[in-house]
Structure 1
Amino acid sequence: MMNVDPADHRPSRAEQLLEAAENCAGGCHWQQANALFHQAISCDDTPASRIAYGAYLYRRGHFNHAISTLIPVLDGTDLKAIGIVCHNLAAIYREVGEVDLARRFQWRSTLLRNESDADELLAMANDAIAVGRLEAAKPLVAAAIELNSDESADCSDGDLIATQGLLQGIMDSPRSGLVTLFWAYQLHRSHRDLKRMGTDLLNMANLFGELKRFRAEKSCLLRAIRCFENVSAHDLLHRAHGRLERHVRMHLLRSFNSELN
């Protein structure tokens, strides 16, 4: 997800409220953070306030609320803000499996920007993975990693590493994918990013399932549920519980002995 660049002037009342809201979010004080974000939008309903709140809601896995917060920006005239919102909406729709909408918003975001950065390339790679175009996704991930290393002293970006792990798990082997995904998980944990930690664990659960390591699969699902519970990511929590229920049903089928009937 993208945020707008901080303005180079004395912070306004809205900017002060946004900073306080982010500080509360960093301390997992969700109710206070929500209240402060609402105050910021109420006193200055600018793209910056909505984008900051939408990005916060996305990080917590509140996808529908994030969409409704960001959509009004598309009716404005700030092309830079519209480009950022399109990129963020693409990320949200990608998360909920709306592949076509994600691709359309990502393409619009790319057209509104002068040049693609690592985030844009990674988003296009994820869209390619979603439609099974793995050979197209691989060079995009490689380019994003290279560009990210040029843009930042810390080239170990967890999201890039996670996508690389997914590709390895599909194209090479589940084992190699697991090693890379665990690296991404460690990076996300170092930033206390519970939502992304939970997503990494869901992806690792998939690969453990392919390796028929069902106890490890269940362990990852349970840990993902704890991550989503701690950040109150209701949509993702529902998805993780559904995965765990399917895992339990499959375990019962695998352990069923017809000779006992």
Structure 2
Amino acid sequence: MTKFATDITAHRYKRHRFPAEVIAHAVWLYHRFPLSLRDVEDLLAEREIHVSFQTVSEWAVKFGRKFAHHLRRQSRGNFADKWHLDEIVVFIKAKKYWLWRAVDANGYVLDALLQSRRNKKAAVRLMRKLLKSQGLTPRVMVTDKLRSYSAAKAELVLGIEHRSHKGLNNPAENSHLVVRRRERRMMRFKSARQCQCFVSAHGQIANLFLLHRKHLTAADHRELRGDAITTWREISLSITA
């Protein structure tokens, strides 16, 4: 066993030869930082943990989804009541898709949904998914000037304030930048399934470590970062493969 593995507990996932902490660490590296699968492979190798980038990819898909599910359940209903919705175009194998995203007023990702259309039907699908996952309706919804949002709101009969103005939607637009950086690092997404799987897991994991450092003292930041790391470790040990 490697030195890194001997320094941690022996909790293991069924049918996996590496300890759960090693797998969770690899998934954390991949989703926390703009790293490629080969970058994570090299970082683990420096710790004398020898796994292939294909194995890291399998861990990221399988366990990223599980970790994100636990984080989503813990945070349900704890977001701000002002939601920002936006969409960007994503090309996958020369085909155009639209990545719809919703964040709250503090920049925390509520959900992301990849769709092949940019119309009312797609907007309705996003809103229904949000209402179901959050279990409540927002006080305010902020979007750009795409008319599909107003049509979807009318179809769902949502009695909420709707502000349609591109200049007010910076939280959602800034949230897209993270995906753009990862898209370039991956040299584009390989399939619609891969894209949806990545953004679904990445958003929830990113929320855990979004601490708004500029508003914190150094001591407060260290404390909150420690709490986030502790939560991550607890989740990694609570799931089963």
Which structure carries more helix by proportion?
A: 1
TM-score by length of 1: 0.23
Task: Specify which structure has the bigger relative contact order, considering alpha-carbon pairs within 8 angstroms and separated by 6 or more residues.
Answer: 2
